[in-house]
Amino acid sequence: MAIAVITGSSGLIGSEAAQFFHQKGFEIVGIDNDLRSYFFGKESSTAWNTQRLSQKLNRFSSHSIDIRNQAGIFKLFKKYGSQIELVIHAAAQPSHDWAAREPFTDFTVNANGTLVLLEATRQFSPDATFIFTSTNKVYGDTPNAFPLVETKLRWEIDATHPYFQHGIDESMSIDSSKHSLFGASKVAADILVQEYGRYFGMKTGVFRGGCLTGPMHSGAELHGFLAYLVQCGINSKAYNIYGYKGKQVRDNIHSYDLVNAFWHFSKRPRIGAVYNIGGSRHSNCSILEAIEKIENLTGNPFRYQVINQARSGDHIWWISDIRKFQNDFPEWDYQYNIDSILKEMVEASVSSNRKAA
């Protein structure tokens, strides 16, 4: 039976991938040591999701191995060898602000951990397809220099700009910009995945995500924009908006839509491919727009304050141009938009009585 190794298997993307590829007939080998609880506190632990997957999926095994542990990762890959047809690397330290607290931890998890997984794949499962969950933060704050127009609820790029209609494509430089330490560590991992494709001929795909979201997200203030926003709205917890008047724009892609993109790539993989992936013009919002939508869904007045100091390296406006991926895989399409995403997240949060961390 074909095996899919999934790192961060109890997180948002990892757990979605575990369910999706299990349904496709794969045996799922999950790797997750719940570092998220170390990053963001016990309230953001993914242990509940490990238990849920173990009960729900009969071909799922969970391995609490730190991806920086070369001996442990190599032992696991050696055990399964050529049976591994797919590696989905979704584990990461995902926060701008947290990275500055412990730069060595951030870099070793994001960069060194990726290197360990790539080398394990090359040595023991060289024919496997390797998919990496990267980030739009590899581009740094370059988009903040775009001509932006302030409207009532959002910043919008000037209508005459080349990126207005479809968003930002993969040709934008990653140089000469402030990335945050998190962005820098993800750049290192991103380039490594590309290089293992181009240098060694491995089938590797880099997916530079916008905001990845969905009901399985263990949201925290430092990471998980929509998930944490929904929790605050339901629990009447005050939300802090950092800079840009709350009008900063993000495109949001549901975890199912992203994992479905992984599926299409895995059927016809390429070598060293790079894709911007996100909600695009199809699914995006500002913080203020999201708050308004959540108020309408919950019936609760939303409590928030705007802090003038923006997060270092944060984007004012980001919308992904996904046409490169759509051109390569025209049979893929969205199943969710921003309204259906928020509706599902509110319903899931209410039913699980999840609290804001």
The predicted-structure confidence for 130-145, as pLDDT tens digits, reads as follows 999 999 999 999 999 9
Of all residues in the chain, what percent are helix, strand and coil, respectively (each to 5)?
A: 45, 20, 35
Question: How many Å apart are CA 183 and CA 178, to the nearest integer?
Answer: 8
All residues at 6 or more sequence positions from 179 whose CB lies less than 8 Å from its CB, including other chains: 137, 138, 139, 140, 141, 187, 313
Largest CA distance in the chain: 57
Q: Return the CATH superfamily for domain 3-352.
A: NAD(P)-binding Rossmann-like Domain (3.40.50.720)
Question: How many Å apart are CA 105 and CA 145, to the nearest integer?
Answer: 30
Q: How far is CA 45 from the centre of its chain?
A: 17
> Given the DSSP bridges, would you call strands 3-7 and 27-31 parallel, antiparallel or unpaired?
parallel
Residue 297, helix vs strand vs coil: helix
Rounded mean pLDDT, 266-294: 98
Residue 256, helix vs strand vs coil: helix
User: What crossing angle do the helices spanning 47-56 and 12-23 adopt, rounded to 10°?
Assistant: 10
Return the beta strands (E) in 185-244 as ranges.
Answer: 203-209, 211-213, 239-242
Would you state the structure tokens that stand for residue 288, as one six-digit string? 């203020």
Question: 356: which DSSP letter?
Answer: P
Would you state the structure tokens that stand for residue 264, as one six-digit string? 């299409």
pLDDT value, residue 149: 98
Mean pLDDT taken over the chain = 95
Residue 216 has pLDDT above 90, yes or no: no
In terms of Cα–Cα distance, which of 260, 256, 133, 135 is closest to 205? Answer: 133
- 34-91 pLDDT, tens digit each: 999 999 998 889 999 999 999 999 999 999 999 999 999 999 999 999 999 999 999 9
Question: How many Å apart are CA 134 and CA 189, to the nearest integer?
Answer: 8
Question: Which one has a higher pLDDT value, 327 or 43?
Answer: 327
Would you state the structure tokens that stand for residue 273, as one six-digit string? 């491919």
Residue 307 has pLDDT above 50, yes or no: yes
Would you state the structure tokens that stand for residue 347, as one six-digit string? 């319903």
Residue 32, helix vs strand vs coil: coil
What confidence category does residue 176 fall into, taking pLDDT thresholds of 50, 70 and 90?
very high
Question: How many Å apart are CA 57 and CA 54, to the nearest integer?
Answer: 6
